[in-house]
């Protein structure tokens, strides 16, 4: 009987849910707690910093299928990882969706500063992680 009690106690220890990390040591945001801001062509979720102010920022962007930006540029480089779906990339002043390059999940992209580009989603939603140094602005091509 003692052995059975000991085995049940050990099983309970292994079946217990792990403790959530101490926020003084690390901050963890579970997917259902990420604060998405709804948009027409895309949704955004700011994870770190503030793109409108100096300093590091990290932002998730969820492009909705069938939506792309028009040619524009940013004054600072942006470092992007495709998290899910396919993110479509175009470059130059002439908007041409047929010539866009597909960047699948796991792809890493650098948008160099002051270079015209356009991007978005075609057949499926995609999520990208953007890391940059603010202030981040966007200038539309003329």
Question: Among residues 67, 61, 77, which one has the least CA distance to residue 115?
Answer: 77
Rounded CA separation 28/104 (Å): 26
Domain boundaries along the sequence of the chain: 37-140
Extract the tokens encoding 115.
Answer: 């270079």
Q: What pLDDT, in 10s, does the model give residues 80-135?
A: 999 999 999 999 999 999 999 999 999 999 999 999 999 999 999 999 999 999 99
For residue 90, the cross-strand partners are: 118
CA 38 to chain centre: 14
User: For residues 87 and 94, is the Cβ–Cβ distance under 8 A?
Assistant: no
pTM of the predicted model as reported, rounded to 2 decimal places = 0.85
CATH homologous superfamily of domain 37-140? Jelly Rolls (2.60.120.10)
Q: What pLDDT, in 10s, does the model give residues 105-118?
A: 999 999 999 999 99
Rounded CA separation 138/72 (Å): 6
* Pairing between β-strand 55-63 and β-strand 126-134 as defined by DSSP bridges: antiparallel
Rounded CA separation 21/28 (Å): 7
User: For residues 122 and 56, is the Cβ–Cβ distance under 8 A?
Assistant: no
């Amino acid at each position: 009987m003692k052995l059975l009690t000991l085995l049940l106690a050990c099983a309970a220890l292994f079946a217990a849910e792990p403790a959530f990390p101490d926020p003084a040591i690390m901050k963890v945001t579970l997917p259902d707690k990420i604060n998405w801001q709804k948009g027409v062509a895309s949704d955004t979720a700011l994870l770190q910093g503030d793109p409108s102010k100096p300093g590091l920022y990290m932002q998730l962007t969820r492009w909705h299928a069938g939506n792309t930006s028009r040619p524009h540029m940013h004054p600072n480089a942006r470092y992007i990882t495709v998290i899910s779906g396919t993110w479509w990339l175009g470059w130059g002043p002439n908007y041409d969706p047929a010539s866009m390059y597909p960047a699948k999940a796991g792809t890493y992209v650098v948008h160099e500063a002051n270079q015209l580009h356009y991007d978005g989603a075609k057949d499926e939603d995609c999520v990208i992680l953007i890391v940059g140094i603010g202030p981040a602005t966007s200038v539309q091509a003329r």
